[in-house]
Structure 1
């Protein structure tokens, strides 16, 4: 019965994940059709080259690969960190009861609803040489060219776009926290900051970790935002996904598949490490309260009720 119930999910995962991964790995073992250096004839079929594409990644094309690898890692760490801080702040604001809360929630969530390509075009206008960004800072900065300022532009646009996602998941975690917990803390004289560190943060930790995991995996596959905002073949913002797309657009499907497989392994290892290290916090039981705090909270709830 268990196998029957999970079979639809396994079938979907096989079609959309397992099969494309196997095909990409197979394609990565073939070269580019064209002139065969051994025979001197033009071949219309892709020759089998084995591990040569992977050897080239860490050999002849190593400099470009490592540049894209570090760009991908830098964007992931920077954007996810900023999005976590801003997203938690957004969740706390949306959770408060005040007049006009619905309007504030809608305005915060609008960036997440905008397609990424449209968002990139909007920010490209803002970061134009005569755009709003340069008008505000009073300097002429070419944001959409090479350099660190291009990375800053990508980070700002990405954080603006996806911080509401973390805020939405954290808000869902905040809404299941019993109000009695905060009432007991106020009776004990706990300040707002102490309530946040000792009550709010531990109780929303499972939702927060899931949000961070999703955003980390998504940021590692970043492609459309820097591609539209800055452009292709810009060394300062080129990611692994952009590198694979560039190879495929030049009809080098074997090297492109090799880059895709390397990116898949990188994302898989990050996800595996995340789940291994924090797996116990990603799965909450029937009681969302950490076990070490349940006894104290139970006692305080009893006192408040009495």
Structure 2
């Protein structure tokens, strides 16, 4: 037997159950990964809570949980390409990552994803890269961020925010991030100036903003419009497909194929760090999701198996 986190009905973290399930096997053209770490993202609990959101991904109930994972290939079926038993890997397995084993095509077929984990990157960090790292990269590309820009990032201390702040700074931009006041020292360490979120945001932002990325909703996008930032240089990732004011919606699926290589290289060269806010064993997955749903999380929340 194997274990997997599943839910039978949509709802809050209380619907999640760790259950024994039949151990999956790798078939032709597939690999099986023994998962060691899964990283949580807002999309995971968004799908868990909403049947409508789940349907957007072609999912119903019962369902597995989570997308991001890292681990080791322990089976490679005939015809699997690019991966072999014993390879350390990381990637995405839609609605089934928080489990002892996941089976994927090799090479992976979207929306799943699979990469080799290079020496020098631990599984906890590798597991955070697919959604958060690629979403941040896509957002920066969407606004056309370049050296000399001043970019306003809403939700800067969250799981995607820690990537967006650092990648923007590496690109040569001045970074202003919205956060709770207690988060300010953390953001400064990442390379951002900090302002408090909430009503009146536009009046607290320093002058000269030329681009904006809203990682939480629409507050930052609306403030940027108020400040005169062109809609084409404002991106949202959590406001739905039609954000207000003509600003641009984006997500990790919009990232260029070579972005993961750039992220990995930045981690290996220590130009990019991944703060792990909290680590939970899989038996405490409900607590992990509660923690991840807290807007004041500083970095990524991961689950170990």
Query: TM range, normalised to the smaller chain?
Result: under 0.3
**Structure with more strand by fraction:** 2
**Structure with more helix by fraction:** 1
Q: TM-score, normalised by structure 2?
A: 0.25
Instruction: Give the structure, 1 or 2, with the largest relative contact order (CA under 8 Å, sep 6 or more).
Output: 1
Q: TM-score, normalised by structure 1?
A: 0.25
